[in-house]
Structure 1
Amino acid sequence: MANSIDVVKLPASRLSVDPGFLWKVSLIAGLGGILYGYDMGIIAAAMIFVRNTFALSTGMEEATVSVVLVGAMAGAILGGAIADRIGRRATLVWGGIIFIIGSIMAPLAPAVSVLILARAILGLAIGFTSVTAPVYVSELSPPHSRGMMIGLYQLCLTIGIALADLTGYWLAGQQGWRAMFALGLVPAVFFVAMVFSVPESPRWLYAQGRLDDARRVLLTYTNEAGASALLEDIRVSMLVKMERRWSALWSPAVRKALFIAVGFTVLQQVTGINTIIYYGPKIFALAGFTANKHAIFATLLVAIMNVVGTLIALVLVDRVGRKPLLYVGVGGMTASLGVLSYAFHRQPAALGLIATACLMVYITFFAFSMGPIAWILVAEVFPLRLRGRGVAAATLGSGSSNFLVSMTFLSLIHFAGNAVTFGIYGVFCVLTLFFVVFVVPETKGRELESISTERGLVTD
């Protein structure tokens, strides 16, 4: 069977790749990350004023924030199947169009019910792009730079969050939550326009029997020898046809990949990252920030560190490897959450400064480890025949756990207190360390098809 064949790593001399083309593809796909990040981040500032406009209860506030994740889960289920059926590029186009629809509806919402519907539509678009973009980039990237290229999606996501927080800070004085949502239309239109300038994945084209089209795409960024070598690599991986059944994810050959991908993306969420993204100003208010603009500014500082940490990951992930970065990153996240929990328990005079420092440290460590590496691993561990559905399953797991965390955060703060809440997220960080040590494989610099074998998923 194809997923039991090791593909010999091709010499670099046979893979003369045009770096400009690959960067273009990665950056365009990464625009989907900017859209995702903007819609994640803008709710933090906007909810301060949406809550007052519509007189929302705690439950309705949690629902307005979290409904985007319901849409994302639906988009993940549909997007994986659609990406395998109509292609990666076409799926990205449809994701961008859905983003445009949601970005028009949200600022025009006359009632909270319409805003919730708009947020659900935006979530559907997020599901489409978050499933498809990492797969698309992984199928076009050479092994020696695949981690960095896929990591660009995460970098763009963090830039989108930072842009959202900057927009929120800029419009906070006007309480302009409608303008905050409306500005999301700009990157959505740009994304759709730019996606039309890139080709379809050659691996997907080959899987559809379009060998000449696959070769033509490869020749746009490599030479004849490189195209022939990559086509042979794809041919070996295609000895088993593209799998359309979701139940195939439970087969013995793929089950371990599914456990790694879903388990790691769930842990990525339950360590509390999106409580900061969605509720940053609220957390800083709990720490003593009384002015909305000051709380939004502190959230912006955290978002900037998110970008910085992701840049560190792009530089190191293909040099140092996935697991060393995870050891350092998750360890730093655990320590910062421990200090934050203790500070909330003790309530020192400088609580606001301590909380700001802890969250900046936490998100920096997250950004160069769990943030990008989760999606790098997801795009790497599945065989081609199931990659679309495998990434969809991981995205569904991520969305489900993200929804659970975001829907319970304010209630958990209310019933258990600040210190216990952040202590719980710290415990999940410890569990994540064990998962990295005993379950996660090292995939640095390896061919996609050799990673997806049972032997390739052994931890190092």
Structure 2
Amino acid sequence: MAQHSQTVTGSGIVNLIAGVAATGGLLFGYDTGIISAALLQITPDFSLGTLGQQVVTSAIVAGALAGCLMAAPLSDRLGRRYMIMFAALVFIVGTLVASFAPGVEVLVAARFILGLAVGMCSQIVPVYIAEIAPREKRGQMVVLFQLAVVTGILVSFIVGYLCRAQSWRLMFGLGIIPAVILFGGMSLLPRSPRWLAMKGKLESAFDVLQRLRRDPVAARAELDAIVAMHDEQAPWSALLQPWVRPAVVASVGVALFCQITGINAVLYYAPTIFAGVGFGEGSALLTSIAIGVAMVISTAFGSWAVDAWGRRRLLLRLVPGAAVSLMVLAAMFAQGATHGINTWITAAAVVCYAIFNVGSLSVAIWLVGAEVYPLSCRSKGMSLVAATHWTADLLISLTTLSLVQALGAAGTFCMYAGLNVLAFVFIWRYVPETWGRSLEEIETALKAGTFDRLR
């Protein structure tokens, strides 16, 4: 009975730590999502054409690509916690510059600075959470980061709608609130026990594990397992080793398909696309709020499903629904999305797509990346995952409006439907089941060559 009480207490501490760290995801979501509403005001203010809109939108993605690559060696050297705190400071600076930008050039620079922070958080927050969480709750805890991301997106959509008669500068400026919370909260949290062990600080690692698990015997056993699997910090070239390659293929593939299946095309440009086919500005923004609500609900469901169904099974069950939703959406645009009942079918198809895609690929991307790599190159592996995500995101954000102009909305969404089908095939072939296994057990499977048999 006493042991159960101790477990609950330890879990409470882990939940608190994961919740504070996941505030980085809230900033991630808010700063990437707010552009969809702000762009409707920025475009006439700065006389932006299609290319200008895409550059302003994608600047944060370019910064995120640089930020996630920069974070890996720094987080290995300085620690996961300090890197998250540094990212919070960068969020604050970028938010202030964006809010007072006098012209489009400064705004693009500010969005790039915000992107640096977003990239850092996408790389290091899931790793930090995965390294503190017990195996039985690791999926739910890491997905808390993604839940914070989509909550940030929803908040940005609501703020965009409520501030549509105000300035876009206020939309950007409100992002400073969670940035301050993240910095202050992280200053009170412990360092990653696995990072401490990797640095040879075994007693400090034991102290943290004992605080997290509230059971000295369990903490010592976990530390012994970490030490038994421990290698020195590996260089980037370690990711090219044949025994690590299955982890690279699985994690990078999920990251790539998470983006090229179209979710950020909908996220960034939904109001612009819907306004362009006849929806009023207010109606287009309300459609985005519905999408945001759907994303939060599906991510909350996914946070349960990854530890109830498993990561692989969740992906295989939901991705086909995303493909079907996009096919319906393409058909509606081909027939005339704003005519009669087609308007409602169009909106429903977008919401269903968000539920199926976000509840599967967007839930799994940071979880799979944080789980599958060995400790010696986990930070660098996660950087590769994040870099893949942001490179594909950059491609999407720079081409979506151009694709809509060239192929039409129907052709664009039909293309994304086909990519969802390819994602299903990839998951079936290359993505293993990591549910219920410790990080050290997953690493053992990699070394034994049985990683692809985890089902």
TM-score bucket of the superposed structures, by smaller chain? over 0.9
1:260 corresponds to which of 245, 250, 256: 250
2:39 corresponds to which of 18, 40, 47: 47
Residue pair 1:26, 1:152 contacting (<8 A) in 2 also: yes
Q: Map Cα deviations across residues 79-127 of structure 1 (whole Å, 9 max, x no partner).
A: 1111111100000000000000001000100000000000000000011
Q: 2:432 and 2:87 mapped to 1: Cα distance?
A: 31
Residue pair 1:41, 1:164 contacting (<8 A) in 2 also: yes
Q: Map Cα deviations across residues 180-211 of structure 1 (whole Å, 9 max, x no partner).
A: 00000111111101111110000000110111
Residue pair 1:288, 1:352 contacting (<8 A) in 2 also: no
Q: Map Cα deviations across residues 382-410 of structure 1 (whole Å, 9 max, x no partner).
A: 00000000000010011000100110000
User: Which runs of structure 2 are paired with 1:303-382 in the superposition (5 Å)?
Assistant: 303-347=292-336, 349=339, 350-382=341-373
2:451 corresponds to which of 430, 438, 456: 456
- Corresponding residue for residue 418 of structure 2: 427
- Corresponding residue for residue 396 of structure 2: 405
CA deviation after TM superposition for structure 1 residue 221, in Å: 2.0
Residue pair 2:257, 2:361 contacting (<8 A) in 1 also: no
Residue pair 2:254, 2:364 contacting (<8 A) in 1 also: no
Q: 1:458 and 1:37 mapped to 2: Cα distance?
A: 35
Structure 2, unaligned runs of 5 or more: none
- Corresponding residue for residue 19 of structure 2: 27
Q: 1:134 and 1:372 mapped to 2: Cα distance?
A: 12
Q: Which amino acid aligns with 1:456?
A: F
- Corresponding residue for residue 5 of structure 1: none
Report the secondary structure of 1:368's partner residue: helix
Q: 1:439 and 1:191 mapped to 2: Cα distance?
A: 36
1:227 corresponds to which of 195, 219, 230: 219
CA deviation after TM superposition for structure 1 residue 51, in Å: 0.4
Q: Which amino acid aligns with 1:129?
A: C
- Corresponding residue for residue 285 of structure 1: 275
Report the secondary structure of 1:219's partner residue: helix
Q: 2:39 and 2:453 mapped to 1: Cα distance?
A: 44
Per the normalisation by structure 1, the TM-score is 0.94
Residue pair 1:102, 1:122 contacting (<8 A) in 2 also: yes
Report the secondary structure of 2:244's partner residue: helix
Q: 1:218 and 1:143 mapped to 2: Cα distance?
A: 13
- Corresponding residue for residue 394 of structure 1: 385
CA deviation after TM superposition for structure 1 residue 287, in Å: 4.1
CA deviation after TM superposition for structure 1 residue 150, in Å: 0.2
- Corresponding residue for residue 127 of structure 1: 119
Residue pair 1:284, 1:355 contacting (<8 A) in 2 also: no
Deviates more, 1:428-437 or 1:345-354: 345-354
1:444 corresponds to which of 427, 431, 435: 435
CA deviation after TM superposition for structure 1 residue 143, in Å: 1.0
CA deviation after TM superposition for structure 1 residue 288, in Å: 2.6
Q: 2:223 and 2:131 mapped to 1: Cα distance?
A: 12
Report the secondary structure of 1:444's partner residue: coil
User: Which runs of structure 2 are paired with 1:77-88 in the superposition (5 Å)?
Assistant: 77-88=69-80
Q: Map Cα deviations across residues 127-178 of structure 1 (whole Å, 9 max, x no partner).
A: 111100000010011111100000000000010000000000000023x100
Where do 4+ consecutive residues of structure 1 move more than 4 Å? Answer: none
Q: Which amino acid aligns with 2:86?
A: W
Q: Map Cα deviations across residues 217-252 of structure 1 (whole Å, 9 max, x no partner).
A: 1121221101111111111111x2121x11111111
Residue pair 1:327, 1:436 contacting (<8 A) in 2 also: yes
Residue pair 1:284, 1:352 contacting (<8 A) in 2 also: no
Report the secondary structure of 2:212's partner residue: coil
Q: Which amino acid aligns with 1:458?
A: R
Residue pair 1:103, 1:185 contacting (<8 A) in 2 also: yes
- Corresponding residue for residue 300 of structure 1: 289
Q: 2:172 and 2:453 mapped to 1: Cα distance?
A: 45
Q: 1:33 and 1:390 mapped to 2: Cα distance?
A: 19
Deviates more, 1:181-190 or 1:314-323: 314-323
- Corresponding residue for residue 215 of structure 1: 206
Q: Does 1:38 align with 2:30?
A: yes
* Aligned sequence identity (%): 36
Residue pair 2:321, 2:353 contacting (<8 A) in 1 also: yes
1:269 corresponds to which of 251, 259, 272: 259
Q: 2:120 and 2:365 mapped to 1: Cα distance?
A: 17
CA deviation after TM superposition for structure 1 residue 260, in Å: 1.1
Per the normalisation by structure 2, the TM-score is 0.96
Q: 1:227 and 1:110 mapped to 2: Cα distance?
A: 54
Q: Which amino acid aligns with 1:405?
A: I
Query: What is the CA RMSD across the aligned residues, in angstroms?
Result: 1.5
Q: 2:288 and 2:277 mapped to 1: Cα distance?
A: 12
- Corresponding residue for residue 157 of structure 2: 165
Q: 1:75 and 1:458 mapped to 2: Cα distance?
A: 34
Q: 1:457 and 1:38 mapped to 2: Cα distance?
A: 36
Q: 1:388 and 1:44 mapped to 2: Cα distance?
A: 31
- Corresponding residue for residue 4 of structure 1: none
Q: 2:278 and 2:453 mapped to 1: Cα distance?
A: 47
- Corresponding residue for residue 6 of structure 1: none
User: Which runs of structure 2 are paired with 1:125-164 in the superposition (5 Å)?
Assistant: 125-164=117-156
CA deviation after TM superposition for structure 1 residue 459, in Å: 5.1
Q: 1:96 and 1:353 mapped to 2: Cα distance?
A: 40
CA deviation after TM superposition for structure 1 residue 283, in Å: 2.3
